[in-house]
Amino acid sequence: MGIEMNDRGPFDIPDIGPVVGSEFAEISVNVDSEANSTRLRLEDLRTGRVRYLDPLELETIIWLADGHLTELLDPSADRWRDRS
């Protein structure tokens, strides 16, 4: 995927929006207001998979103990598991 930069900096890409990236992942982060309430729209730019998080889910993530969050973020738990 080619990414074109604009004059707002390398992390705000036209037609994609703000991007948070590292050597492991590249995620576009936008606020979505199409549902009943405002929510965060996250898109994995490599796969196109989209996840919406509402304020309660975001608050839950903020309050998770570090150990529990580490378990949830382990990619071998779900993402890299063979699903065939």
- Predicted confidence at residue 1, as pLDDT, reads 47
pLDDT digits (tens, 9 = 90+) for 29-38: 999 999 889 9
- Average of per-residue pLDDT across 44-68: 94
In a domain, 83, yes or no: no
Structural domain boundaries, residue 69 = 11-73
User: C-alpha distances in angstroms, 3 versus 12, 16, 38, 46, 50?
Assistant: 10, 9, 27, 12, 18
Q: Is residue 46 part of a domain?
A: yes
Phi and psi, residue 34, nearest 5°: -80, -20
- Express each pLDDT in 9-18 by its tens digit: 557 777 778 9
Give how many domains the chain has, as a whole number. Answer: 1
6 three-class SS: strand
User: Are the C-beta atoms of residues 37 and 31 closer than 8 Å to each other?
Assistant: no
pLDDT at 38: 95
For residue 78, the surrounding DSSP H or E stretch is: none
Query: Does residue 57 belong to any structural domain of this protein?
Result: yes
User: Is residue 79 in some structural domain?
Assistant: no
